[in-house]
Amino acid sequence: MTKILCLSLVLSCSILSQLKAQNKEFKNDAPVSPSRILKIDSAVVTHHEVTIKGQRVPYAATAGSMPIWDEEGRPVAGVFYTYYEREDIRDKSDRPLVISFNGGPGTPSVWMEIGYTGPRLLNIDDEGYPVQPFGMRDNPNSILDVADIVYVDPVNTGYSRPVSKEVPGSRFYGVNADIKYLAEWINTFVTRKGRWASPKFLIGESYGTTRVSGLALELQDEQWMYLNGVILVSPTELGIERSGPLDQALSLPYYAATAWYHKKLPADLQSKDLNDVLPEVENFTINELVPAISRGGSLEDAQRKALAQRMSRYSGLSAQVFMENNLVVPFNLFWKELLREQGFTIGRLDSRYKGLDKQNAGNKPDYNAELTAWLQAFTPAINIYLRDELAYKTDLKYNMFGQVWPWDNQNNKTGENLRQAIAQNPFLHLLVQSGYYDGACDYFNAKYSIWQLDPGGKLKNRIKWEGYRSGHMMYLRKDDLATATENLRKFIKEATPAKGTPAKYE
């Protein structure tokens, strides 16, 4: 036994020596392959055409990167973008420019680029589910007919990267740091592309709504760049306070919409159209539920039971579930409970999607059913598209979700910043688009945010909200894609004043 043990030790030492020698021989001091490094100031231009609303639209597509500089003018990161510019229009002075962001905060602009507003669309079915073969097709609903578009990938999303590991993440990864460096980048982009005269619009989805709400004021105050419009798709809370009973109650209208979709409401409600059901639930939420939850333990038992019955009626869950949770059912439990008897969970970002858990028991789903479906469709499509159609060749990994943590959420005043930007700029209009089945950034919270953005009602003629019968990315549903893009066209046209119109309050 001793000989065997000694032999094992000798072999182990020998192997370790070989490994050390190999590590020394292949020490990681060789130059990094150029194909694995982002060219922080470069671009590739290709030429295409697409038919939109029956009209032929020729366009140039630019895929590239532009730098972010520090205070001394040294590059600290490269921000990847794709820019679509209609080629049969010579005078760009009145040609709108749309600057597009997605959210996360660690995701690139892939979602709206190839799912919503861009000239090419990923292959999915009419309800947004992935299909094979993966790939692309023309988007007959793109807004490129009325506006040029640039899709921006913040640092460490898509192909965007810091220049080295020594650059501190705090320069990029936080509510206000994100807004500051992206405003600088937009200034550089607009200057290089000669678009200072153009009407300008920001569109953001999910955390991108936090981003563009802050950018609206940052661009005015620090870059002296004034916008015509801001579009919020599935907006976050925008730093607007809503805690305690208010926060706990606002989810009920979303629960009602989702239960209606899955046919879990009582027959008298289920037989109505969704738009006839929701106002009743919204009124109950604001006028009865918020005050009741505020009373907490002082509620009489009879009152508590009556409220549980009403909430059961509007949500598809049993009254017992509400009683067991003191009238406050968390989102996770709702996603697990609604279809528990059928053996399914429902999605967070789009509750039309169903998932399968290991067991029916539990208080939350094992995974987000909708997100896995979206990643399955979008990831191959964007990699094929950038490389094969836009001729952007690199061995960098395209980060669908990049490492941007820890993210500094402190001092988030983006909602108030947006209000101030609208008040300061008579040209600036706001459009908000929400999906009724979005459980992450639900539609009723979006309405609440609008109410708080304009508590005095002084800006209401320049603020509009729209609801769609789909989820977080409502444009993945074919019918909603056509309607939502047409509404974007109308918004852009209405927010672009006639020549010579002064920006002033009468």
Residues 280-286: contacts with CB under 8 Å, at least 24 apart: 281/252, 281/253, 281/256, 281/314, 282/253, 282/444, 282/447, 284/252, 284/310, 284/314, 285/249, 285/250, 285/252, 285/253, 285/444
For residue range 165-218, what is the model confidence (pLDDT) as tens digits? 999 999 999 999 999 999 999 999 999 999 999 999 999 999 999 999 999 999
pLDDT score of 30: 66
Query: Could you give the CA distance from residue 459 to residue 277 in angstroms, rounded to a whole number?
Result: 28
Task: Give yes or no: residues 212 and 294 share one domain.
Answer: no
Cross-strand partners of 331: none
Of 465, 470, 441, 442, residue with least CA distance to 453: 465
Kindly indicate the confidence band of residue 34, based on its pLDDT and cuts at 50, 70 and 90: confident
Residues 213 and 343 in one domain: no
Domain annotation covers residue 329: yes
Mean local confidence (pLDDT), 269-282: 98
Say what the pTM is: 0.93
Same domain, 291 and 146: no
Q: Please check whether residues 109 and 164 belong to one and the same domain.
A: yes
Q: Looking at the 3D structure of the chain, how many domains does it have? A: 2
Q: In terms of domains, do 203 and 274 share one?
A: no
Predicted confidence at residue 3, as pLDDT, reads 34
Kindly tell me if the per-residue pLDDT of 28 is higher than 50: yes
Pick 29 or 262 by higher pLDDT.
262
Task: Identify the pLDDT of residue 38.
Answer: 81
Give the confidence band of 7 by pLDDT, cuts at 50, 70, 90.
very low
| 39 and 120 in a common domain | yes
Lookup: tokens for 382: 């964007």
Arithmetic mean of pLDDT, 74-99: 97
pLDDT-above-70 percentage for the chain: 94
In a domain, 217, yes or no: yes
**Shared domain check, 255 and 191:** no
370: tokens are: 């909708």
491 occurs within a structural domain: yes
Q: Which helix (H) or strand (E) holds 153?
A: strand 148-153
Is the residue at 27 inside a domain? no
Determine the distance from the C-alpha atom of residue 433 to the mean position of all C-alpha atoms in its chain, rounded to a whole number: 12
The answer to the question of residue 11 being in a domain is no
pLDDT value at position 37? Answer: 81
What CA–CA distance (Å, rounded) separates 425 from 226? 7
- Please tell me which residue, 233 or 28, carries the higher pLDDT value: 233
Cα-based distances in Å from 304 to 23, 207, 238, 297, 390:
68, 36, 32, 9, 60
